[in-house]
Amino acid sequence: MPISRYRRIATAAVLALLPVGAASLGVQARSVPLYHVGTTGPEVSIIQQELQDLGYHPGGITGTFSLRTRAAVREYQYLHRLSVDGIVGPITEGSLKQSLSASFTLVFGVFGRRSLRYLDYGLAVVVLQRDLAKLGYYQGAPDGVFNNFTLAAVRAFQHDHHLIVNGVADVATSQAIRRALTGSTGTSTSSTSGSGSNGSTPTKPPAGGMGGSGSAPTTPPAGGTGSGSTTPAPTSSRPMVLGYYVPGLSAWNDLVAHASQITAIAPLWYSLTTSNTLHNLGPNEAFVTSWAHAHNIQVYPLVINGYGNDNMLQSASIRSQEIADLLSVAKQDNYDGFNIDFESLNNPDEAGLDAFVAKLAHGLHQMGKKLIVSVGPRTSSNNGYHVYNYQALGASADYVDLMLYDDHDNTGPAGPVAPLSWAQSITQYAEATIPSSKILVGLAGYGYDWASTGSTEINVPQALNLANKYGVNWIGGAVQEPEITYTVNGVTHTVWYENAASDALKAAWVGKDHLGGVALWDLGEEDPGFWPMLQKTLP
């Protein structure tokens, strides 16, 4: 049975996790087991700083667990497949640490014996932050992430102490900090982390994306900076290659490495909440948008309906307000449009979804922008996800992304993720109801590992490692997908996944049937051979 993309969203950001907990990261675990609304103290400040560094919005670093902090925790829990209770206990706390280790560059060693750079993460950064806080430069919480505030504090300290202002906490800087702490030299009375020249907060790149380069990147001049100007659509007739971008190190590296092939990205940035507000999931919207435009890549932020929310589909007035909010954001942040991905809907929501898409598309078109709509799989007018009216949605939207996954997922029995005959039936039905040039073939860049002890999603590089170790079976016929069977500690595992070969068979439909292009879920998970394959397969 096809899986909601939300569960893949929840795991995509942490697929590259290092298999370590907070203790092995060298960060001291907190002893208080639960943090909830009303809890106060420095540990709450650290939780808020962690959420903020991961792109959530806890309402500032206040040290008080507020309703806004709870909302940020709930959003994080939802996207990471945790119990959504708004309480930070050991499980949520450990997940936050793992997300930080996946999004930033994990460093080991002692501060003073190694240089620390922008986007580093670890205990040494905690020490740096605490030392700078004692000296009045750093005002955030010591969460171990060399973030914007840490960078600004280092630069301000370097300026005030006549060091090279490069934002790198190198040996010379650490020695100067030690001297300032012991009072062996005079210190500045500056109390703001952004004081001094070169001490302003830099533009933040994608989390983990610069690999600890030592300084904030310079925003590319092309593509706009959120001034409200409209970026014209490319005139090239090449098929769209849309990459879904779940913020993190692997996604950023993949985007940079294949920028010449990617024509558009759909970053996971926005959610329409049950309270009828547009929630920013972030992070780094301005930087990524500017960078993408400078590399001739269009940006269509992904908009999801958090918690299966269908409020906006049940009320015309709410729909109008949500659409007005989206149009305002598209103009202000210089997006090329949006990618609407509403899931967990009920069939009676069909009329509301059709009206929402039609009105949003009309507003975007008046601004010279476009709309992509993601739809669940259907093979006829009588089956599948009835809420997705292919004909109506295809008439309004500029592109329709066919999510050709998952025929089998880790909530049920083992089986192929996207068997060819199943995917082909969906595509053929779409071609009969949607203009061919609007259809995007949704390609999966991941797989699942089923076992009696528990099943999980895996990325393709992980699957390829298993294939190299245990061998792989190519299942042909109506399936056309690789399968792996292996046994560890007496437990038998079955793995199915989509690789470059299986994706190639589906990507070939673009040229054969003159379709609009392909959409990959998601950048950073796919087979390394995917891009050479796409170069050969697409017209």
Q: Indicate whether 287 pLDDT > 50.
A: yes
Q: Is residue 401 part of a domain?
A: yes
User: Tokens standing for 149?
Assistant: 């505030």
DSSP 163-220: ---SS-B-HHHHHHHHHHHHTSS-------TT-STT-SPPPP-STTTT-S-SSPPPPP
For residues 52 and 61, the answer to whether their CB atoms sit within 8 Å is yes
Is 169 part of any domain? no
User: Count of domains in the chain?
Assistant: 2
DSSP strand pairing (370-375 vs 399-402): parallel
Cα–Cα–Cα angle for 302, 308, 311, nearest 5°?
Answer: 95
Q: Are strands 481-488 and 491-497 parallel, antiparallel or unpaired?
A: antiparallel
What's the pLDDT at 153? Answer: 92
pTM above 0.85, yes or no: no
User: pLDDT, tens digit, for every residue of 29-39?
Assistant: 333 458 999 99
* Mean pLDDT (whole number) for 373-399: 92
> Does the pLDDT of residue 272 top 80, yes or no?
yes
Q: Which pLDDT tens digit goes with each residue over 137-196? A: 998 888 888 988 899 899 999 999 999 988 899 989 999 998 998 875 443 333 333 333
- State which H helix or E strand residue 483 sits in: strand 481-488
Output the pLDDT for position 231.
36
Would you say 19 and 94 are in contact if contact means Cβ atoms under 8 Å apart? Answer: no
Q: Are 400 and 375 in contact (CB under 8 A)?
A: yes
What distance in Å separates the CA atoms of residue 316 and residue 447, rounded to the nearest whole number? 39
Sign of the torsion formed by the C-alpha atoms of 133, 137, 139 and 142? negative
Are the C-beta atoms of residues 151 and 168 closer than 8 Å to each other?
no
Provide the CATH number for the domain around residue 82: 1.10.101.10
Q: Is residue 420 predicted with pLDDT exceeding 90?
A: yes
Q: Is residue 141 part of a domain?
A: no
Rounded distance between C-alpha atoms, residue 59 and residue 88, angstroms: 16
- 9 is a domain residue: yes
**pLDDT > 70: what percent of the chain?**
83
Long-range contacts of 471-474 (CB under 8 A, 24+ apart): 474/501
Q: Establish if 361 belongs to a structural domain.
A: yes
Which of 82, 103, 124 delimits the end of a domain? 103
φ, ψ at 314 (rounded to 5°): -95, -10
Phi and psi (nearest 5°) for 493?
A: -115, 145
Judging by DSSP bridges, how do beta strands 278-280 and 264-272 pair with one another? Answer: antiparallel
Q: Which whole number is the average pLDDT over 478-496?
A: 96
Q: Which helix or strand (DSSP H or E) is residue 450 part of?
A: strand 446-451
Domain edge (last residue) among 74, 103, 132: 103
- Beta-ladder partners of 375: 402
Residue pair 65/40 in contact by the 8 Å Cβ criterion: yes
Domain stop point among 59, 79, 103: 103
How many other C-beta atoms can be found within 10 angstroms of the C-beta atom of residue 468? 9
Residue 19 — very low, low, confident or very high, per pLDDT cuts 50/70/90?
A: very low
Residue 184 is predicted with a pLDDT of: 57
Using alpha carbons, select from 400, 241, 302, 277 the residue that is nearest to residue 13: 302
| Residue 307 pLDDT level (bands cut at 50, 70, 90) | low
Does 456 map to a domain? yes
**102 pLDDT band (50/70/90 cuts)?**
confident
CA pair distance 449, 350, nearest whole angstrom: 34
Give the integer Cα–Cα distance in Å for 403 and 440. 9
169: nearest Cα among 144, 150, 190: 150
Give yes or no for residue 94 having a pLDDT over 50.
yes
Amino acid at 156: A
253, two tokens: 């590296």
Lowest-confidence pick of 8-12, 41-45, 394-398, 494-498: 8-12
CATH of the domain at 275: 3.20.20.80
Residue 264 has pLDDT above 90, yes or no: yes
| Alpha carbons 278 and 270: distance in angstroms, whole number | 7
In a domain, 276, yes or no: yes
Q: What are phi and psi of 284, to 5 degrees?
A: 65, 35
Both 440 and 294 in one domain: the answer is: yes
Mean pLDDT (whole number) for 88-108: 85
* Residue 91 clears pLDDT 80, i.e. is over it: yes
DSSP state for residue 45 in the 8-state scheme: H
Q: What share of the chain is helix, strand, coil (3-state, %, to 5)?
A: 40, 15, 45
Q: Does residue 447 form part of some domain?
A: yes
Q: What number of H helices and E strands is found in the chain?
A: 18, 17
- Look up the domain containing 83 and give its range: 5-103
Highest mean pLDDT among 102-116, 298-312, 323-337: 323-337
Q: How far apart are CA 292 and CA 372, in angstroms?
A: 18
- In this structure, are strands 298-299 and 264-272 parallel, antiparallel, or unpaired? parallel
Give the Cα separation of 175 and 467 in Å (integer): 50
Q: Where are the alpha helices (DSSP H) in 243-375?
A: 249-257, 285-294, 311-314, 316-332, 350-366
**Distance of CA 408 to CAs 206, 217, 448, Å?**
32, 42, 9
Burial tier of 400 (Cβ tally within 10 Å: 0-12, 13-18, 19+):
buried
pLDDT of residue 344: 85
